[in-house]
Structure 1
Amino acid sequence: MIVIDSHGAILSFSAAAERMFGYAEGDVAGQNVKMLMPDPDREAHDAYMDRYMTTGVARIIGIGRVTTARRRDGSNFPIELSIGDADTPHGRVFTGFIRDLSERQRTERRLNDLQVELSHISRVSAMGSLAAALAHELNQPLTAIANYMEGARDLLDTPDAAALEMVREALDEAAGQSIRAGQIVRRLRDFIARGESEKHIESLRRLVTEANALALTGTGVAAIDVSIRLDSLADDVLVDRIQIQQVLLNLIRNAVEAIQGAGQRQLSGPGHGAARRRIEIRSRADGDDMVVITVADSGPGLSHTIQQHLFEPFQTSKEQGMGLGLSISRTIVEAHGGRIWAEPADIGGAAFHFSLVRAAAAQHPDD
């Protein structure tokens, strides 16, 4: 538990807080509580306090949320934060109740690793079954196409009127079999995509902040500034929370890996430095029906060759990657009625955008 005054100065710092953050109460008493926050919260904290004291409009007071805190040694860790306020004879005070989620997330990661391994085995098995099904279903039309084409080729050795008529028939039959093969593939694809996820109205701000805290945990990103700017007027979305957070996790971790993979090359040269190591997460309303979320990084960007096949399965620029993350993300986003795309970012690297249906639009489709 931490108690602060209306200016953000720390009044009380519990023994549990001392163990959690690595500071003694005497070290932090009177200091601004933003010293316990990483960017971007550290940078925005004073403005948030001033806005609340002026307008009385709360963003997180009275609402628990998952975010990130900063220890004395500079390391970041995930927390669950609940804030309450009260008027006292000495002025307004704010009480923060903080729970360290590191152990819970380590447990979740261990379970997730097991689930990923099981999922991998399941995917391999499914791919084997799919390959067998495709081989069985496509064998007949492909064999027929080959036979018709070989017969047409032989008939062209004696190209009289009768032979040309038979060639024409053979080509018509080959075209028909190719259409049949395409229909088989489409039926399989539709069968795989048939399942619908259970969607609920969710706060986009909560989805982003929770996914960001989880994505940055344990990645050694103390030197990366993360800026989160979300449109408060386009906050409610109709989604499957787990699936959309999986998309966000994938995009944020890709951004971190892009920056870390660039190494010192991105930090060398005049005018660079910490500002080059940056991730921006933004949202904006797209008409009355959709909201667009952007995850941009200051990494090296995407080559033209990679960008052409970015969302195709088994296409990756990572040494250890399977090339499925962005393909799965595209499937999830499209199943939610949106789309996903990439383009160069205005901060130097790549920007991934995806759209979601706003809850108001889903509730009133005829408006």
Structure 2
Amino acid sequence: MKDIDTMTGASPQFISLYDAEQMHALIDTVPDAMVITDQQGRIRSFSSGASEMFDYAEEDLLGENISILMTSPDRERHDLYMQEYLKTGKAKIIGVGRVMTARHRDGSTFPIKLDIGEFNSGAQRGFVGFIRDLTESRKTERELHTLQSELAHVSRISSMGSLATSLAHELNQPLTAVANYAHSAQDLLADPSPETLELVREALDQCAAEALRAGQIVHRLRDFIKRGETERQIVSLGRIIQEASALALMNGDGKGVDFETGLDPAADKVIVDPVQLQQVVFNLIRNALEAMLESRHKQLRVRTQRKDPGFAQVSIIDSGPGLDQKIAERLFHPFNSTKSDGMGIGLSICHSIVQSHEGKIWVEPSSLGGTAFHFTVPLAETDND
């Protein structure tokens, strides 16, 4: 872990030469937002970049708890995190850069890259946060390169339009042949002589061969979409949700949305392919945001909870218009979409990924008046469980 003296390359004696005004002028030269807090988490300095990013004046926040800039559940748990760190020295985020979600003064949320360092100078001890807004940053793609490259297969769905045309053409040939052979067999059975029955058998053999050919075409489509075999490892479900949420809320898509997460610590450690699980969370959050485009009041909740035996449940709940029951029954089938320009592939991929993890996925009306998607994934059982 680095303290601020190491990060700046300056000694405490050098820093002490600066008075408060000079120090603040130095802080304001940092291109990203910079926030300094004491060891209780109270804000002691708020750079001009931070003021511009969050729309708070420094005097509005001096002495306030830094959690005012956080979203749930970090907002409620921040003080506990601080107490645990000061007591044990075990850091959860200090010294580790992380993509997460922050809260603007107007209540809207946006994705950030957060780096935290600790400083000790004489009797003073505190923390420095460097915050980069990933919504408008020209370096967003670079900052999220790892996440985006691993999630790249999601964008391949955009090519499904042209693929569907080719698919229809390829499937039309074997299916037409099946229909022709079936009609021929039907006509031949009008005169069931031994010679005719032999021809019927040949026609049915050709029907079977063409049906298998159509199946192979569908398998090629599945291989196109599928990323590959799952590579499971023990990971934090909360962190996956934080990163996928930040990615889904990019480009201002979270503006005007009351977004909140509620994470159950007992359901945090799961054994999954983290890339594929991010794909599921990302897809479901994007679907929820799109469903609420015309809603006057937009609420989005992401919840986790432990479900015995041995599973964690994730719920994405929105206040959109909800789903027609007939659509809901076939929602996870390929090429079945609620969108006029949709291909109906995204939820099918989610279904396949969850099933490959021995979980299940389902949809029901939400308590917010919209739709609630739920899915389960296996917990990583430990000796303490």
Per-residue deviation, residues 292-311 of structure 1 (Å, max 9, x unmatched): 43222244432211111101
Alignment match, 2:344: 323
1:96 aligns with 2:118: no
Q: Which residue of 2 aligns with 1:282?
A: 304
1:158 alignment partner in structure 2: none
**1:26 to 2:62 alignment:** no
* TM superposition score normalised by structure 2: 0.70
Quick one: distance in 2 between partners of 1:316 and 1:292? Answer: 24
TM-aligned CA deviation for residue 284 of structure 1? 3.1
Distance 2:237 2:254 in 1: 26
Match of residue 213 from structure 1: 246
**1:188 paired residue number:** 217
Is contact 2:351-2:360 (8 Å) kept? yes
3-state SS of the aligned residue for 2:136?
Answer: helix
Contact between 2:336 and 2:343, CA under 8 Å: does it hold in 1? Answer: yes
Percent identical among aligned pairs is: 39
Q: Deviations over 1:68-106 (max 9, x none)?
A: 223445543321112234566556423222222223478
The whole-number CA distance in structure 1 between the counterparts of 2:340 and 2:219 is: 32
Cα deviation for residue 252 of structure 1 reads 0.8
* 3-state SS, counterpart of residue 321 of structure 1: coil
Residue 370 of structure 2 corresponds to residue 349 of structure 1: yes
Is the 8 Å Cα contact of residues 362 and 375 (structure 2) preserved in structure 1? yes
Cα displacement (A) at 1:66:
0.9
Preserved contact between residue 270 and residue 377 of structure 2 (Cα < 8 Å) = no
Gaps spanning 5+ residues in structure 1: where?
156-161, 268-275, 362-367
**2:199 aligned with 1:199:** no
| Corresponding residue number in structure 2 for 1:237 | 271
SS, match of residue 141 in structure 1:
helix
Name the CA shift for 1:24/1:38 in 2 (closer, same or farther; >3 Å). same
Shift in Å, 1:342: 1.9
Change (3 A) 1:277 1:126: closer
- Equivalent pair of 1:138/1:184 in contact (CA under 8 Å): no
Is the 8 Å Cα contact of residues 64 and 81 (structure 1) preserved in structure 2? yes
* Contact 2:116/2:129 (8 A) holds in 1: yes
Q: How much does 1:143 deviate?
A: 1.6
Deviations 1:145-189 (Å, cap 9, x if unpaired)? 11111233x34xxxxxx66x8998787767655544443333333
1:144-183 matched pairs, under 5 angstroms: 144-152=181-189, 154-155=190-191, 178-183=207-212
Q: Please name the residue that 2:169 is paired with.
A: 132
Q: Which residue number in structure 1 is paired with residue 26 of structure 2?
A: none
CA contact (8 A) 1:197 1:240 kept: no
Structure 2 counterpart of 1:309, from 320, 330, 341: 330
Query: Would the aligned equivalents of 1:255 and 1:279 in 2 still touch at CA under 8 Å?
Result: no
CA 1:236–1:280: 2 relative to 1, 3 Å: closer
Pair 1:298–1:333, CA change in 2 (3 A): same
Cα distance, 1:360 vs structure 2: 7.3
In 2, distance between residues paired with 1:346 and 1:170?
61
Matched, 1:42 2:71: no
Say whether the 8 Å CA contact 1:34–1:42 is kept in structure 2. Answer: yes
What TM-score do the two structures reach when normalised by structure 1?
Answer: 0.73
Judged with a 3 Å threshold, the aligned counterparts in structure 2 of structure 1 residues 259 and 125 are, in CA distance, closer, same or farther, namely: closer
Note closer, same or farther for the CA distance 1:246–1:145 as it changes in structure 2 (3 Å cut): same
Deviation at 1:251, TM superposition (A): 0.5
- Whether contact under 8 Å (1:204, 1:237) holds in the other structure is no
* Paired residues, number: 337
- Alpha-carbon distance, 1:338 to partner: 4.4
Can you give the 5+ residue segments of structure 2 that lack an aligned partner in the other structure? 1-33
- 1:256-271 to structure 2, matched below 5 A, reads 256-261=289-294, 263-264=295-296
User: CA–CA distance in 1 between the matches of 2:47 and 2:204?
Assistant: 77
Residue 288 (structure 2) pairs with residue 255 (structure 1) = yes
